[in-house]
A and B are shown apart, each in its own frame.
Chain A
Amino acid sequence: MSKILLHGTEAICEGAIRNGCRAFFGYPITPQNEVPEYMSVKMPQVGGTFVQAESEVAAINMVYGAAGAGVRAMTSSSSPGVSLKQEGISYIACARIPCVVVNIMRAGPGLGGILPAQGDYFQATKGGGHGDYHLIVLAPSSVQEACDFTYRAFDLADKYRVPAMILADGMIGQLMEPVELPPMRDLSDIPEKPWATSGHYGKDRRVLNSLLIKPEVLEPHVNELQKTYEQIQANECRAETLLTEDAEVVLTAYGTVARICKSAALTLRKMGVKAGWIRPVTVFPFPAQTYADVAAQGSVKAFLDVELSLGQMVEDVRLAVDGRKPVAFYGRTGGNVPDEKEIVEAALKALEANK
């Protein structure tokens, strides 16, 4: 199939629709307005439902209801809006309902600004709402991945009965790149959901609930959830690496920043500096083993973690590296994006400090 030029936001929508998403609930916020805009046109065309909700809180609770009935459902927002959704996400996680939440991150905290950022890493990967839970969090770094990861997120969410998140920075939303769209999936091909509250029709009684008031009921339930997260950690970690075999300094980042880091690593190589590169594809589960393996190499002198925040993923990198090698950090915030030169300089500094 031939490639077409698409915006990141459109690619996310196509990935969702093509893997059976038939309910979308959203509320406008820059820089992801193109997602609900596109869905408002496409959903009716495929026999799905589009609702512009009265708020982000309403939208996530509509997802709760629709996905609880077994429909593949999605909502999308940007940082401040995703904060508003957290209560609903926690309820959905507790009720074990698969769904997809998209966060096109903008600069925070507060209402912040509308330009790209990655300040919601903690929120996305460490729970976000209250209680012991996690989402499966995929971090696309290209428009093609925005499509593919959203497609995959629906399957992963269903497989483990957990909500999944697409964590993208504002640049992914605006970038246009060639995309090869996956074929439209036949809805009858999607596995049955034997837990879905899809009407009685002679079935046994089914209940989806997030209120488990008896401690002797809640603890085993949370333990079950925990077991699921452990399975996810065992099976679903994904990372991409480049030139790590003989690297002295290893650059790491996720999302579009990872691409700027990749350019920086290649420039460093041209300068004669042995630079390598690691990009987590899943940020929950975090691909810790990939980092541990690279950290164990004798050649590696230092890591440099780069983010559009003041240091969030770097904590996971440091846990994974586990003190074997120093991990330096370079971050920009407020909607500013570091260029290749800044990253090259930061990498040289990290290497110099740890020669």
Chain B
Amino acid sequence: MIRILLAGQGGQGVLSAGRFLAESGLHEGKEVSYLPAYGPEMRGGTANCSVIISDEEIASPLCNEPDVLIALNAPSFHKFAPRVKSGGIIIVNGSISDSFAGRDDVRVYDVPANDLAIEAGDVRSANMIALGVLVEETGLVRKQSIVNCLQEKFAAKPHVLDCNRSAFEAGLAFVKK
């Protein structure tokens, strides 16, 4: 069972990335749950969601101690980094955040997600850069499952699909380097 917390600023695609992960897990026949933080949120505010992917039944849908944190901006990195389980993984958007977690029992991937996303065609696909890093690093779901989700979601918007797919592949490649 892997618990993933995705966090960032509203508009960075945190919830979409969580949905893609959950959908991919489901298509691979795994148990999944997706719980968006649901408060009096506003545009430009914080957004986060918890995704759990498991081979067994998921009891608690909460993710207070995630195995993996994806932090797309600095405030969410600093807020959630202390909560990550010992031995866990943090993927942080190094383009707009520092990467000092203040602990050495987690692996921190400092990924210039905004820069890589701009190279891939659109800064808004920084979420897909992070997702690429996650998938390549953990093998949590198959690459093709994420690509299938993108194809389904952006069937009517080929340009958006291209940007997102390129960004996802750039994320995969970032780890291989």
Interfacial residues, chain A to chain B (CB-CB below 8 A): 3-5, 31, 114-115, 170-171, 173-178, 256, 259-260, 262-264, 266, 337, 339-341
Contacts and interface: CB of A to CB of B under 8 A. Distances in A.
A114 B23 contact: no
A138 B1 CA distance: 29
A175 B33 contact: yes
A25 to B, nearest CB: 25
Q: Pick from B32, B35, B61 the residue with the most CB of A within 10 Å.
A: B61
B32 A260 contact: no
B38 A263 contact: no
Given A171-B35, A339-B60, 10 more contacts: A114-B38, A173-B38, A175-B33, A175-B35, A176-B19, A177-B58, A262-B59, A264-B60, A266-B59, A340-B62
A3 B27 CA distance: 9
Given A176-B22, A178-B32, A259 B39 contact: no
A64 B64 CA distance: 43
A4 B26 CA distance: 8
A175 B34 contact: yes
Contact of A174 (B23, B38, B59): B38
Given A115-B39, A176-B22, A178-B26, A5 B34 contact: yes
Interface residues of B, number: 19
A151 to B, nearest CB: 21
18 contacts: A5-B23, A5-B32, A5-B34, A115-B39, A170-B38, A171-B61, A174-B35, A174-B38, A175-B33, A176-B22, A177-B32, A177-B34, A177-B61, A178-B31, A259-B58, A260-B62, A262-B59, A264-B60
Q: Pick from A31, A170, A256 the residue with the most CB of B within 10 Å.
A: A256
A254 B89 CA distance: 33
Contacts of A171: 35, 61
Contacts of B61: 171, 175, 177, 256, 259
Contact of A340 (B23, B33, B35, B60): B60
Nearest to A341: B64
A74 to B, nearest CB: 23
A-B CB proximity, top 8 nearest: A263-B60, A176-B34, A263-B59, A262-B59, A260-B60, A339-B64, A174-B38, A259-B59
B36 interface: yes
Nearest to A260: B60
